[in-house]
Structure 1
C-alpha cells in the first residue's frame, strides 16, 4: 500500500494468542461446494490495528460497547448493524441459544453509545438483519423496522421463521406491528430489505433453501407487501427456472446446479436489496451471481441480467451494494473453503461490475486483501457498504477494510481496522463514523473525520 502509515503503532509481535473459531449458522450451511465454514476469530492484540492513508488519517476507534445480558449469564453475539436518526440497531446471532433480539443504542454521544431498548427477542430464533426506514403511507406513518427471524432448529414446531415488523418512531419504546411467516420448511428469513415505492412498502426476503427443502413448492425469494404493517401479504415469489436460460428442472433442484459448462455448483438466495428508488432489485444468489430484476411492478418483475464468474471461480455471491449512482455493482463473495478441486485457491473476495447496461454486467475489477501475516488463518470478505467513492468491507478476522473505488477498475485499499479477537460481521457507514458489529464483543464505533458529533443518517 502506498503512503501507508500507522495511526496506532502496533508491531507484528503483538499477535500473541490464537483464539478458537466461532461456529455460526448462515451462508451455505449445507456445504455442498465447500463454502461452508466457521467464522474465524482473529488473534488477541495489545491494541487495535488501525492503518490508513491520508484519506482516512483521522480514523480511530472511539467506542467498543458489549451487549447487555437480557438473561443473567447469557451472552448474545452480534450480527448486522444499521443506523437511523441517531440510533444504532444491532441484530444478534445464534450463540448461547439466540433470542438476543435487536439492540438499540442511542448515539447522541458516539464515544459513549447507550443501549436503550431491545425488541424481537423471540425464543428459539435469532435475529440477524434489521432495516429501519421512515415511511409515510395511508397504512403507516413513522419509523418502521423489519427484522429477520430464523429458527435455531427448523424442525422445532414451536418456533416460526420469517420477519417481524416494529414501530420504532420512539426507538426507546418499540411496538410490534405484525409478523410474516416464511411459507417453507427452511429456517426462516436470513437476510431482507425494506423498500418504498411511493405509497407502497415492500419487504424482500431471502429464505435460504426454501426452494430446496420444499421441492419447488416455495421459492427462496418472496416480495411481501407491508403497506399495512399489521397484515403483511406475499405478492410474488422468484423462481430462477422461469427467468434464467441456464437454469431448469433438469439441472437445478433448488440448491444443486450444474452450469452450462457441466460444472457442479450451488445456487440459493442469500441476500436481497434494492436501489434507492425501490424499482430495481438485486438478488445475491450464490453461484448464480447477483440477479437483477426490474420491480417497477412488484407483482410482475422483469428479469434484466446477472453477474457471472469464470469457470475456476467459486461463485458464492453473498451480498452487494451500489456505487457511482447505481452504475457500479460491488459484489462480495463469501468463501470459507479456499481449496476446492478444479477451482482457484482463494478465500472469498470482492468483484466490481459496470452495470450501466443491467442486461450485461461487465466485470471491471476484483479486490483481494492478504492479511494472513497479521491474523493467522485468514478469512473471507463478508458485507460491502459504499459511501461516495469509498468502499467499506466487513472481513471477519480481517476487521474492516477501507477501499478507494474512485476508479472502479482499480480499487486501492486505503485503510484497515482490526480489533482484538476481530470477528466483524457487519459495517454501516455514516458521514463521520463507521459502525461495526463484532460478533464476540459488540458495537464498535470508528470516527473517520472531524470532531465528535451525534450520528445522523
Structure 2
C-alpha cells in the first residue's frame, strides 16, 4: 500500500523537502488511506544476542493496546514517554488530528489501561511529543507535562502552534496550566524537551520553519523558562547566522553549504544531557548543534556535527550515551536516490563528543533496510528515534520495527535484537524499569517485558496535588 502525502504548509512529523521553499511538509504525515506495513515477525531473538545483561532473549511482548476512539474517530499514535508508572502517548494526524495525549496506567504492564485524554483543546492541531517531569518552583509543585502542538493548516482560523503545559500530578485528572504560542505563521512546535537547571524548569522547543516563515523575526529553536507554567517566557533563541559557515543572507531554510550544495536547514528536535547542562539541537543538514546551557541566560555555542558531501544530512533526533561522552544521531532520509548523494535511506551515526567543539565520527549503524532502495521513496526503511539504556541503543524504525544495538564499544555497534510484529510502523520507543514501550502508529501501544521481570511494577500511585 502506498503512502499518500499531504502537500500543505502544515508540519507533520519529520519533513519531506526540496531545495526550495518548504512548501511540502509530508515527512511522516499519513492520511486515512492507511499506513505502509512491515513484515510479520515475533520477538527480539531474530538475531544472535549477547550473554549476561545484554541478553535480549528473555524479552517478549506482553501487551498490544489500541487507543480509545472518541466520537467514532481512531487516532494514530506518535511518540511515547513514561513517568511514575504511567505511559503518555502523543497522537498523529490520522483521524483529523486533535487526538490529544493519552495516559495509560502501567501498574500491570500486561494490561495497560487508558485513563485520560488531554491537550486536545486547540482546534486544527495534532499533539506529537509529550515530556513529563517532577518540578518544584514557587509557582508550581508537582508533575509537569509539556505537549507539542502543531497546526494541520496554518491558514485555519482558531488553530495555533506552540506547546501546552499541564499539571498531571493526578494522571486521572490533567489540569491545563498554560500555553506557549509560537507565531501563527509557523506550523508549531515539533519536538521538545523539558529539563531543569538550578531548580528552574526549562522547555527546549524545536519550531521548524519559524526562521523562514517569519523572515527571521522568530527562530527555529527557543529556550523557554516555565518556572511559572501559566506565564512561560522565552529567554533565548538560536540563530544559524551566528555560525561562520552560514552567511548573513541565509533565508532560514536554504543553506549554501561549503560543499557547494544547497542544503535544507531547520530545527527538528531538541534534548539535553542528564544534568541539563548541554543541549542538542537536531538541525537537519546543519547537523546536531551542541549548546552549553549550564547558565540558561548565557547560552554558549560549542560545536556541531557535519556531513560528507555525498551524505544527506537529515539530522532528526539524538540521544546521549557513556555519561554524555557519546552522541547518537539518527538521520531520517526518506528519498534514497536524491541526485548528488549516496543511495541510502536514513541510518544512525555515533560520535565521540568528549570535546564538544570537535565531534568525531566513531561509527555508523545501518540495518538491513537502508540499502533497499528498489521501492523508491518511502519512510518504511529509514531510522526514526533513538533511546539509550545502559550500553543498549534502542531505535524505532517505522516498518523495521524496534532494533536493539549493543554500543559497549561505540566504534563497533552490533545489532543484538529486533522486534517487528505484524503490520509494524513504529514512531517512538521508551525504556522504563523492566519494560520497553513502543508506539506503533497504526496499532497503538506495544509493551515488551523481561521473562524474569515482575509483571506488576509496584510503583506508588501519585499523590494528588492540591
When the two structures are superposed, what TM-score results if normalisation uses the length of structure 1? 0.91
2:3 alignment partner in structure 1: 21
Check the 8 A contact 1:316/1:333 in 2, yes or no. yes
1:150 alignment partner in structure 2: 150
Counterparts of 2:161 and 2:219, CA distance in 1:
15
Counterparts of 2:128 and 2:74, CA distance in 1:
15
1:103 alignment partner in structure 2: 102
Is the partner of 1:97 in helix, strand or coil? coil
Higher mean displacement: 363-372 or 409-418: 363-372
Check the 8 A contact 2:336/2:373 in 1, yes or no. no
2:463 alignment partner in structure 1: none
Q: Does 1:80 align with 2:79?
A: yes
Q: 2:354 pairs with 347, 353, 356, which one?
A: 356
Over the aligned positions, Cα root-mean-square deviation in angstroms equals 2.2
Check the 8 A contact 2:211/2:218 in 1, yes or no. yes
Counterparts of 1:373 and 1:114, CA distance in 2:
39
Alpha-carbon deviations, 1:362-400, whole Å to 9, x = none?
000000001489999551000000000000000000000
Q: Would the alpha carbon gap of residues 327 and 184 (structure 1) be closer, same or farther in structure 2, given more than 3 Å must change?
A: farther
Number of equivalenced pairs: 436
When the two structures are superposed, what TM-score results if normalisation uses the length of structure 2? 0.89
Counterparts of 1:22 and 1:127, CA distance in 2:
21
Is the partner of 2:211 in helix, strand or coil? helix
Alpha-carbon deviations, 1:175-215, whole Å to 9, x = none?
11011101351111001010111221111100110001111
Alpha-carbon deviation of 1:48? 6.3
Counterparts of 1:200 and 1:154, CA distance in 2:
32
Is the partner of 1:202 in helix, strand or coil? strand
Q: Does 1:443 align with 2:445?
A: yes
Q: Does 1:118 align with 2:100?
A: no
Alpha-carbon deviation of 1:145? 0.3
Q: Does 1:180 align with 2:175?
A: no
Q: Would the alpha carbon gap of residues 261 and 451 (structure 1) be closer, same or farther in structure 2, given more than 3 Å must change?
A: closer
Q: Does 1:332 align with 2:335?
A: no
Is the partner of 2:241 in helix, strand or coil? helix
Q: 1:429 pairs with 428, 431, 439, which one?
A: 431
Q: Would the alpha carbon gap of residues 207 and 37 (structure 1) be closer, same or farther in structure 2, given more than 3 Å must change?
A: closer
Counterparts of 1:338 and 1:287, CA distance in 2:
15
Q: Does 1:42 align with 2:29?
A: no
Gaps of at least 5 residues in structure 2 are 7-11, 461-466
Q: Does 1:300 align with 2:298?
A: yes
Gaps of at least 5 residues in structure 1 are 1-18
Alpha-carbon deviation of 1:452? 3.2
Counterparts of 2:199 and 2:181, CA distance in 1:
24
Counterparts of 2:37 and 2:370, CA distance in 1:
10
Check the 8 A contact 1:381/1:395 in 2, yes or no. yes
2:9 alignment partner in structure 1: none
Check the 8 A contact 1:433/1:449 in 2, yes or no. no
